[in-house]
Amino acid sequence: MVTRDFSGEDVYKVLVNVGGFRHVRTTGDHLILRWDPPESHENTETRTVSVPAHDSVSIGTLHAIADDAGAENFEAFCEWIDENR
């Protein structure tokens, strides 16, 4: 079974360094990231993800981050974060 115990910093680093997201701003203790689709992705909208800068991200919040990031499979998303952190 893949781990689901990630810090906000783990998720942030993978989304920025591997996922092609960029840091837009920080609001309170949340890091706001944006992904702009390349021209080859017609009909794909910009994605905005809010990652809490916490020591541990709850499962519900992790699900919301995966959805906002465009992940189709939550388990695969967690595995991807775990492999790239």
- Give domain limits for the chain: 8-84
Domain 8-84 architecture: 2-Layer Sandwich (3.30)
CA distance 8 to 75: 17
Which of the pair, 1 or 61, is modelled with greater confidence? Answer: 61
How much is the pTM?
0.91
Alpha carbon distance 58, 5 (integer Å): 8
Report the percent of the chain where pLDDT is more than 90: 82
User: Is 52:32 a contact under the CB 8 Å cutoff?
Assistant: no
Q: What is the mean pLDDT of residues 20-38?
A: 95
Q: Which of 2, 22, 10 is nearest to 61 (CA)?
A: 10
